[in-house]
Structure 1
């Protein structure tokens, strides 16, 4: 077995272990603490304790699963954005795609939520539509970014970052403006959601976002060799027969779909798409068939662990998970900026 493949398997197993440990801490600790035997009895169905079952299956388990989906989706999307832009500072939040998807979701909440929540489907219709509205907002934002960042039919990296920062600020202001039009109850929910929070996770949210992760994650993974070629100059890619614009659009739309699905159920969680791919490349190298799954697992680990910290550090009060991740992500982003400047 090749050395890199062995290293890849070991890294995956270690990351899965971290996720399991973080999930165990998440399940057993909180405002209502449980012992390990209580957890085992509930999971294997020995004995009946309605309180333990309610806490695990209705509150904590959906939250953990949604954290894994969100972290994995943002980690994979970050790999794509950094790959096609050839810029390790590219991130769904920094480029404004999170904010664009957020405007789509907030607009849905303002214009359609009342109509769809009146349907006798326990909110299934509205929740399943959230990723679609987020996708539309994210795609429109991505098109704007590509339009303003392209110079002489080539993507200018400096323009890309500056355009993303400008759109991020503008779309954030637009989201706030629309939020102010909501009812006081909906505004409070939107404000918490905007900072990035999964405290109200449920199984409907999971079923609405999981298909996007599985389908688009598979599409992106199949394009891993193309992402490897994106490390070359564009004219070199064209010379070996790669349709660069077509592949770039497919990868971009797939990543925007992932981002939109994550944003629709967890709010705008930044820096996962920046940190996870970068850490993955440091651990396993630059081959994307290794980087993509490792980045997904790192993203999942970061969100699960951050959400555990968010719910316990100021218990019984909670921090939005997006704030905890930002506390980690901002210094990491500054470190990358300094390293790039020195390079």
Structure 2
């Protein structure tokens, strides 16, 4: 049974994070290369702004804000699932190669397949999912031992190796491509939020609408997977079946996010850790906090990156890496 004080603390944190997201979104909407006066934001939202104000807000800023929020939420939940499935606090879709697998699939699709403008946006998450799924399957096979099952430390090490290998493969793939297409792939690798338009939101949103409630519904299974294997089997959990289901969910979430934001790592590492430190390790408690934290962290990183150097700014993936890499080293040394 969860203590009522812990539930109360979770609710306070949940609504505090919602308020923090709204405040950050408000600041993000008002600052940038084409700035909007903060006292004009509310009239613009209500449809009383000038043509320029409404164009900048509804066509440029708002879609990007929503995309970064949704992608951050997906990456954070994906990281939390991976950490639960592998029982390894260092698991993250960017670190263990899942994002790289999605990136290679997107690069091959973008460079060598005919692109249909009407379906390209909606095909990207599927292509990314296929690439990430193949990568995750291969990493899982190499990390699995018939006698002792999945080896969490081995999974992270193999994942890091695959990530580096796939990054090298990406360079080989794009070395003979057209300059314009290479520029797109280079921006994707840097984690530049390129899919900042309403159709990309429609491409990403269904994945979260289905997978977030599914994960919350089965959160107790993640708690059981965190136990030792004999204990989990003793309470009737089919370990390998549950691992495969959750691995598919984590891959789908990560692939759908990076297909529109580019190669962004560390969100799935930081958000679950911070959420666990705030409300404890039970998935029913920390997953909602983790999801909001992921969305806020990516939105904050994007807001900072857009405004550090104008007009082009710094890719969001680099800003996240500047924060996440030291955090990863801290966890590595601590563990």
The question of a shared fold, defined as TM-score above 0.5 by the shorter chain, is answered with: yes
- What residue in structure 2 maps to residue 128 of structure 1? 122
Q: Which runs of 5 or more structure 1 residues have no equivalent in the other structure?
A: 118-122
- Deviation of residue 200 (structure 1)? 4.7
Partner of 2:169: helix, strand, or coil?
helix
- What residue in structure 1 maps to residue 5 of structure 2? 3
Partner of 1:34: helix, strand, or coil?
coil
Aligned length: 332
Question: Could you tell me how far apart the structure 1 residues matched to 2:44 and 2:118 are?
Answer: 27
Q: 1:255-304 CA distances to partner (integer Å, 9 max, x unpaired)?
A: 10001100110111000000000000001111101211111100001000
Does structure 2 conserve the Cα–Cα contact (< 8 Å) formed by 1:110 and 1:181? no
Does structure 2 conserve the Cα–Cα contact (< 8 Å) formed by 1:124 and 1:204? no
Q: 1:313-342 CA distances to partner (integer Å, 9 max, x unpaired)?
A: 1122311000000000011011111211xx
- What residue in structure 1 maps to residue 39 of structure 2? 37
Root-mean-square deviation (CA), in Å?
1.2
2:334 is equivalent to residue 335 of structure 1: no
Does structure 2 conserve the Cα–Cα contact (< 8 Å) formed by 1:193 and 1:266? yes
Partner of 1:116: helix, strand, or coil?
coil
Partner of 2:9: helix, strand, or coil?
helix
- Deviation of residue 179 (structure 1)? 2.2
Change (3 A) 1:223 1:200: closer
- Deviation of residue 93 (structure 1)? 1.0
The normalised TM-score by structure 2 is 0.96
- Deviation of residue 199 (structure 1)? 4.6
2:50 is equivalent to residue 49 of structure 1: yes
2:281 is equivalent to residue 286 of structure 1: yes
- Deviation of residue 116 (structure 1)? 2.8
Question: Could you tell me how far apart the structure 2 residues matched to 1:58 and 1:314 are?
Answer: 22
- What residue in structure 2 maps to residue 296 of structure 1? 291
2:235 is equivalent to residue 246 of structure 1: no
Does structure 2 conserve the Cα–Cα contact (< 8 Å) formed by 1:15 and 1:298? yes
Question: Could you tell me how far apart the structure 1 residues matched to 2:256 and 2:182 are?
Answer: 21
User: Equivalent of 1:12, from 11, 14, 22?
Assistant: 14
2:177 is equivalent to residue 175 of structure 1: no
- What residue in structure 2 maps to residue 120 of structure 1? none
- Deviation of residue 125 (structure 1)? 0.4
Q: Which runs of 5 or more structure 2 residues have no equivalent in the other structure?
A: none
- Deviation of residue 153 (structure 1)? 4.7
Does structure 1 conserve the Cα–Cα contact (< 8 Å) formed by 2:97 and 2:163? yes
User: Equivalent of 2:137, from 140, 143, 148?
Assistant: 143
Question: Could you tell me how far apart the structure 1 residues matched to 2:80 and 2:164 are?
Answer: 23
